[in-house]
Chains A and B, each alone.
Chain A
Amino acid sequence: MITRLGRKGIDVVTELGEVTLFGLSSAGSLFSQRRLFEKLIRSIYEIGVRCVPITLIVGLFTGLVLGLQLYYVLTKFSSESLLGQAVALSIIMEIGPVFTAIMIVGQAGSALSAEIGIQRNAEQIDALKTMNINAKGFLVSPRLYAALICFPILTAFFDIVGIFGGHLTGVELLGVDGGAYWNRIYESVSLTNIRDGFIKALVFGILTTLICAFQGYFTHVKASVPGARGVSETTTRAVVLSSIVILASDYLITSFLLEK
Chain B
Amino acid sequence: MSSENLVIRGLSKRFGSQVILDAIDMDIPLKSHTTVIGRSGIGKSVLLKCISGLLKADAGSISVSNSEVVPPCSYMFQQNALFDSLTVFENVALPLREKGQMGRKEILDTVSDILEKLELENALHKYPAEISGGMQKRVALARALITGPEIILFDEPTTGLDPERKFSVFDMIRRYREKFGFTVLMVSHDVPEVFEITDQVAWLDSGKIRYWGTPKQLMSSPPSELETFLNPSLETTQSSL
Contacts and interface: CB of A to CB of B under 8 A. Distances in A.
Contact of A124 (B75, B83, B99): B83
A126 to B, nearest CB: 5
Category for how many chain B residues contact A: 20 to 34
Contacts of B75: 126-127, 130
Interface stretch (A14-22, A131-139, A201-209, A247-255): A131-139
B44 to A, nearest CB: 16
Contact of A133 (B52, B74, B98): B98
B77 interface: yes
Contacts of A129: 53-54
A114 B203 CA distance: 39
A48 B98 CA distance: 25
A123 B98 contact: no
Interface string B95-107: 1011100000000
Interface string B39-82: 00000000000001110000000000000000001110111011
Interface in B79-96: 79, 81-84, 94-95
A133 B95 contact: yes
Contacts of A122: 79, 81, 84
B235 to A, nearest CB: 34
Contacts, number: 46
Nearest to A137: B98
A34 interface: yes
A171 to B, nearest CB: 47
B5 interface: no
Contacts of A138: 98
A131 B147 CA distance: 9
Contacts of A131: 74, 94-95, 98-99, 143, 147
Contact of A130 (B52, B78, B82, B98): B52
A35 interface: yes
A127 B140 CA distance: 10
Could you say which of B78, B81, B95 has the most chain A C-beta atoms within 10 Å of its C-beta? B81
B99 A123 contact: no
Interface residues of A, number: 15
A232 B49 CA distance: 27
Could you say which of A33, A35, A122 has the most chain B C-beta atoms within 10 Å of its C-beta? A122
A35 B147 contact: no
Nearest to B52: A130
B155 to A, nearest CB: 9
Given A123-B81, A126-B77, A127-B75, A133 B99 contact: yes
Contacts of A126: 54, 75, 77, 81
A133 B75 CA distance: 13
A119 B53 CA distance: 19
A130 B78 CA distance: 14
B77 A127 contact: yes
A138 B98 CA distance: 9
B77 A133 contact: no
Given A122-B81, A123-B81, A130 B97 contact: no
B145 to A, nearest CB: 12
Given A130-B74, A130-B75, A34 B98 contact: yes
A123 B95 contact: no
Contact of B99 (A119, A127, A132): A132
Nearest to A33: B98
A91 B78 CA distance: 52
Nearest to B78: A123
A192 B74 CA distance: 55
B77 to A, nearest CB: 5
A130 B99 contact: no
Contacts of A132: 95, 99
B98 A127 contact: no
Nearest to A138: B98
A208 to B, nearest CB: 23
B97 A123 contact: no
A122 B81 CA distance: 6
B73 to A, nearest CB: 8
Given A122-B79, A126-B75, A132-B99, 4 more contacts: A127-B81, A131-B74, A131-B95, A133-B95
Interface of A: 33-35, 119, 122-124, 126-127, 129-133, 138
17 contacts: A35-B97, A123-B77, A123-B79, A123-B81, A126-B75, A126-B81, A127-B75, A127-B77, A127-B81, A129-B53, A129-B54, A130-B53, A130-B54, A131-B74, A131-B147, A133-B95, A133-B99
